Structure formats: structure tokens, C-alpha cells
């Protein structure tokens, strides 16, 4: 079984500060990223990914944007930067 990493749109949202949940550098972030765009970027990066719709990041529980589950063995930070470069 491969380890899975969960990615939420807020991690890539340029409108958010780090404190509000953005996890990639602002220059790598996008305005209002959607889970389908994150999923496509993961696929372009050659990763196995699936969409989980209707879920919310715990800090943004009212905003059910969904999430992308990606198979990845490395650090989550490396994964997010790899996907951000494929948007």
C-alpha cells in the first residue's frame, strides 16, 4: 500500500496568507484553485490521484471545496510544490 497525501484547494490559494492555510509560496499559488485543476496538475506530474468531493478542510469547515488524494512517498511540501508547478 502506498502512502497517500491529502491536498485541499486552500493550500494553493493565492488570496490566503500562510496563517489562513496557504502552503505553497505565493508566486506558485493560484487564484481560487479548484480540485479538478489540482487533480489535472497531479496527473500532469505523473502521479496517481483521485478526487474526494464534498469534503472540507477542518479550518475551513463551512467551505466544502473537496480534496485531492495523491499517492506520494516523499514530503508533503515537495508534493505541493511539484503540483503547483504543473498548474
Q: What is the pLDDT of residues 16-33, one digit of tens each?
A: 999 999 999 999 999 999
pLDDT at 1: 58
C-alpha cell at 38: 489540482
Question: Is residue 2 predicted with pLDDT exceeding 80?
Answer: no
Mean confidence (pLDDT) of the chain: 95
Cell numbers at residue 62, please? 463551512
Chain segment 25-55, per-residue pLDDT in tens: 999 999 999 999 999 999 999 999 999 999 9
| Nearest alpha-carbon partner for 1 in 81, 72, 74, 76 | 72
Indicate which CATH number applies to the domain containing 78.
Answer: 3.30.56.30
Q: pLDDT > 90: what percent of the chain?
A: 92
Neighbours of 44 (CB within 10 A): 13
Q: What is the pTM of this model?
A: 0.93
Q: In which domain, by residue range, is 78 found?
A: 4-84
- Domains in the chain, number: 1
Using DSSP bridges, classify how beta strands 49-52 and 4-7 pair: parallel, antiparallel or unpaired: unpaired
Amino acid at each position: 500500500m502506498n502512502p497517500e497525501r491529502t491536498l485541499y484547494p486552500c493550500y494553493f490559494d493565492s488570496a490566503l496568507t500562510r496563517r489562513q492555510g496557504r502552503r505553497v509560496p505565493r508566486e506558485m499559488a493560484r487564484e481560487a484553485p479548484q480540485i479538478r485543476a489540482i487533480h489535472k496538475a497531479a496527473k500532469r506530474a505523473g502521479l496517481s490521484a483521485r478526487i474526494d468531493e464534498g469534503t472540507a478542510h477542518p479550518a475551513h469547515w463551512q467551505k466544502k471545496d473537496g480534496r485531492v488524494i495523491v499517492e506520494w512517498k516523499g514530503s508533503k511540501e515537495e508534493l505541493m510544490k511539484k503540483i503547483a508547478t504543473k498548474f
